[in-house]
Amino acid sequence: MTSLWHDTANLPRFPALSRDTSCDVLVIGGGMAGLLTLHELCRRGVDCLLVEAERIGSGTTGGTTAVLSAQHDTLYADLIRSFGRDQAKAVLYANLSAVEQYRALCARIPCDFSEAPSCLYTLSSPARLEREVSAVQSLGFPARFTQQTELPLPVRGAVFFPGMAQFHPLRFLAGLVPGLPICENTRALRIEPGAVHTNRGVIRARRVIVCTHFPILNRRGLYFMKQYQMRSFVLALKNAPALHGTYAGTERGGLYFRSYGDLLLVGGGDHRTGKSGGGFDCVEAFVRRTWPQARVAYRWAAQDCMSLDGVPYIGPYSPHTPGLFVATGFNEWGMTTSMVASRLLADAVTGQPNPYARAFAPQRSLVHPQLLGNLFETTLGLLWPTSRRCTHLGCALHWNPQEHTWDCSCHGSRYAPDGKLLDNPALHDRR
């Protein structure tokens, strides 16, 4: 399945690592977060290098719907209740700043950037959204509640964020990366103090930043307990109406929408990787009912790392790994959060203070109901009787009939029918 973005962009190619080398800062992972971090480090004059296991932009960045918004579900009311106003405000304004940083970069990079207010909507009780809009307004941002949208749905309530945007993520990368120090087809296999071993050689680095979507180092940080992965499914439609904003439903399995040129993108059917759920069938059924004249031009799926509390983990990898940093757990809002990560990580490795660092620090409390769900899935996956095992931690693999892959419900690794690795945190094919 080729996404719209892959089919309409030409990314430059970079050579693989050809010998052992060294640098001050090594970035692992060539998605939006890693490349923005590399760009920021180079702008500051840091001696740095990025390695990507395949091609840049080939993972979740190429499967995003590319919405640039600080509106990340009903996050801010929850944060005020759980962590206080200061932390909620830090998360909000870090994301608002990220949108502005994209706006500045996109002014010189042709990437179909356009203004588009973002909207969360509900088809059931509006009370949750009413609380959210009050919370956001109390933090100083002019969010707006309404019951009127342009959607062909019986919306009971909606929260609009003005000043948000959308773009073409791979055209943006195509304009961002020329001249950056990048090695493609170079897979990091083992991280040691001061060195990273790859399939092409050893890279010695004083500091290492892991931007591999799901972290690849299991022994520290407990990310395999703090996260799980969600699959999400997108159709790009011809002969469907254009929308002037971006929309996301708050209900479980809710649909999301945005326009791109003469295409309407409709997504949804989300479910935990390795488990059953709505998938493409859910999205296709809605499209047939609502726009029977529409034609599917593209279809694709992607997945996202979900943190315990809705806030990404960005900063030091763990208290026991000096010089090692991470960005993960973007909770289906990876484009805006990638920009947040680039600034936080560049400040962290260069010793600069950042007012938002504490809000995103990975060493936050693990006390959350989702932790029990993650531990249950891991235990079930380890005990499930099957010979098909994930090369990550040995959990059972389950056949995905919609995408014809073997998926791990513990941590989200995926494999082609022949055993080729498709998605991490696993590092090796299945034999």
pLDDT digits (tens, 9 = 90+) for 145-195: 999 999 999 999 999 999 999 999 999 999 999 999 999 999 999 999 999
Q: How do the domains of the chain map onto residue ranges?
A: 8-64+170-225+310-360, 112-166+226-306, 369-423
Q: Residue 236's pLDDT is what? A: 98
> Domain 369-423: what homologous superfamily?
Rieske [2Fe-2S] iron-sulphur domain (2.102.10.10)
* pLDDT for residue 382: 82
Residues 209-247: tens digit of each pLDDT: 999 999 988 878 899 899 999 999 999 999 999 999 999
| pLDDT(384) > 90 | no
Q: What pLDDT was estimated at residue 374?
A: 86
- The CATH number corresponding to 8-64+170-225+310-360 among 3.50.50.60, 3.30.70.270, 3.20.20.70, 3.40.50.1390 equals 3.50.50.60
Do 342 and 350 touch, CB atoms closer than 8 A? Answer: no
The 10s digit of each residue's pLDDT in 276-310 is 888 999 999 999 999 999 999 999 999 999 999 99
Q: For residue 217, what pLDDT is reported? A: 86
User: Residue 387 above 90 pLDDT?
Assistant: no
> Which CATH superfamily is 112-166+226-306 part of?
D-Amino Acid Oxidase, subunit A, domain 2 (3.30.9.10)
What percent of the chain is predicted at pLDDT more than 90? 84
225/256 Cα distance (integer angstroms):
28
Distance CA 342, CA 408 (A): 29
Question: How high does pLDDT run on average in the chain?
Answer: 94
| Confidence tier at 368 by pLDDT (50, 70, 90) | confident
Q: What is the mean pLDDT of residues 87-113?
A: 98
